[in-house]
Structure formats: C-alpha cells, structure tokens
Amino acid sequence: MQSTLESQARRTELRPDLLEAFAGKMMVEMGAAVSGALTVLGDRLGIYTALAKSGPINSQDLAKATSLDERYLREWLAAQAASGYVDCDPEAGLFWMNPEQIAVFADPDSPVAMSGAFYSISAAYHDVPLLEAAFKSGKGVAWGDHHNCLFCGTARFFRPGYAANLVSSWIPALDGVEAKLKKGALVADVGCGHGTSTLIMAAAYPQSKFIGYDIHEGSIEAARQHAAEEGVSNVEFQVATAKDFPGSGYDFITIFDALHDMGDPVGAAVHIRKALNPDGTWMIVEPLAGDKLAENLNPLGRVYYSFSTVICTPASRSQEVGLALGAQAGEKRLRAVVEEGGFTRFRRASQTMVNMILEAKP
C-alpha cells in the first residue's frame, strides 16, 4: 500500500522544466484566443483592407484613412504586430502587411482567406451556455440555435476553398459529371447554407438547373439574397432536409462539409440514392481526416475536432437519430454510411490540404 502511494506521489510531482514549457505554450494560446476578437474587428472595420492598400503607415495616418480613433488603432496595431499578423518597424512606428498576410486577411478572393473562421469561433464563445447544457444532458444544439456569427462565418470560411477548387478540379475529377453540367443537368446541393457552393456551380454551368436545400430558413433567405445580388438565375433555394428534399431524376447531388452534421446520414444517403438518376453522381465534400485518432492529432485535426465539439456533434445530436459522425469521421466510416445507403461505387476523387472529395454512384 505504501509503495502505491509513493508511486502516485511521484506521478503528480511537478517537473519544473516541463511546467515552464507548458505554461509558455498556454501564454501563446491565450494570445491567439484573444487576438481572434481583434481579427474580427480588423475585418469588420476595414483595417486590414486599408493596411493592404497603404504600405508602411503610422497609426495617425491610418486613423485618417479609416476614420477610426488613433489611440485604439495604435493598440490594435501593436497587438497585431506582436501576433505576427502585420509587420512593423517599431522604431519608426510604421506598420504594413506582407503579401502572405494580405492573402489571409485582406483578399476575399484568396484561396487561403481565413477571416471568416474567426466569426465562427466567436460564435462558439457566445454558445458556451448552450454547450454546457448539452454536455450535461446529452441532447443536441440545433444549427439554427447558434449565435448568428456562425452562419456568415461558415459561408466565408468555406468559400475560398470552394471558389479555388470546385469548378477547376473537383468536378473535373468526377466521372462524366462536367460534361453533363456543360450540356444541361439537374442538380441538388443539399445542406447548402448561404448558397456559396450552389452559386459557384450555377455561375459556371449556366445550362444546368441548380436547387439548394437547407434546414435553416435564415440561411435559405440569405442564399436567395446572394443569388439576386449576383444575378444568377438558374438557381433556386428551398427549406428541406437531406431526407425529404423534393424531386427526382437528379443528375448530380452534392453535400459540402455537411454530411457529418446530419442526425441520420444513412437515411440521407438512402433518399439521395432514390432521388438520383440511375447514372447520376453524388459528390460528398468532407474534412480531410484519417480513420484513426492518432492520424488526426495534428493542427488540422485540432481545428476540426474543436469545431466538431461545439457545432457538428451537437447539430447531429439535435436531430432524429443523432449518429454524430463528427468532423473527423474519416473515409472508412463515410464509405460505410454511403454503402449502407445503397450505393455500390465509392472512391476518393480528389483532395486538398483540408478536404477530401468523395464520389458515390448507384
């Protein structure tokens, strides 16, 4: 008994060198966490855009260019420089953005634009009371119950990757789909959110008809507004779930970063199988993940597991079956879902640093 107590004491004894290193890591984490709010401010107030245009500038001139308060800007700039989000000459009091920083924070068309993610992250902090209750009860948190920052943030977070890859590489990697879309096809984009993916496809393939479906009425309203603003006429948006969206004879059905959020993904697969033409194609875009936990213990897995904890798993749990695949389900698990839904052909058609593009056929 005595030896057991001594062994436990040794295990709980602090190791100063490791403690210092871990405390240092947490200091970095704290800075990153609070800098997220400053990133949202920089985006909302147009500070990044002004910096990208100005070149080296001091806080006084930046205040004139942005019509913002100089003292607040001075502190914001110092925090951004300490984070490495902007460059600076501390002796001269000048600040600027290098091309890489501009690509991430100030260019909405950049394939690595990331400002939108910080809006979604801010929603997670707002939603802590909802998540606390869910952890205790095991119940879910519906997509529409989250803070509004989540919806526009999600659309902005995914748009750069879709714009850079969807038409140029993902669709061409599928068997025969591009030719159908150019000729004229009927397409359903299920779980379309604000319609980003739907509108990119509709603009690229004007001979085809696109229908975006989503369970969240607010997102469908936003999608319709975006379609009107962009002048895209071969598209419509309707409120529906993946298990009850109307119509049949679809040539192409897509789900972008949403299958793992569904309560009954197998039921969705069954419905999609019935709605497709016999020679139709289902494209599933999912977060890139390995099939085992050990394969996902990396920076990308950290981001996706975190979002999955606060958004994806609660969304699934709020629905009828609540399978809760999670954002790091992995290809093996996704294949099982798709095949259980009645599909006989399944392959990974393409991938990026953050997504895998899966093709399923009846």
- pLDDT, averaged per 10 consecutive residues of the chain (362 residues), comes to 55 89 96 96 98 97 98 98 98 98 95 94 96 96 94 92 96 98 98 97 98 96 97 97 96 97 96 98 98 96 96 94 92 97 97 96 96
pLDDT for position 126: 96
Give yes or no for a contact between 255 and 284, defined as CB atoms under 8 angstroms apart: yes
230: burial class by Cβ within 10 Å (0-12, 13-18, 19+)?
middle
Closest to 100 in 3D by CA, of 90, 110, 89: 110
Triad 343, 349, 352: Cα angle to 5°: 130
pLDDT for position 4: 57
Domains of the chain: 2-105 (1.10.10.10), 115-361 (3.40.50.150)
pLDDT for position 2: 55
Longest dimension (CA), the chain: 80
- Please state, in angstroms and rounded to a whole number, the distance separating the CA atoms of residues 116 and 242: 25
The residues that bridge with 213 in the sheet, in sequence order, are 190, 238
pTM to 2 decimals?
A: 0.91
CA distances from 18 to 15, 22, 228, 255 (A): 6, 6, 57, 45
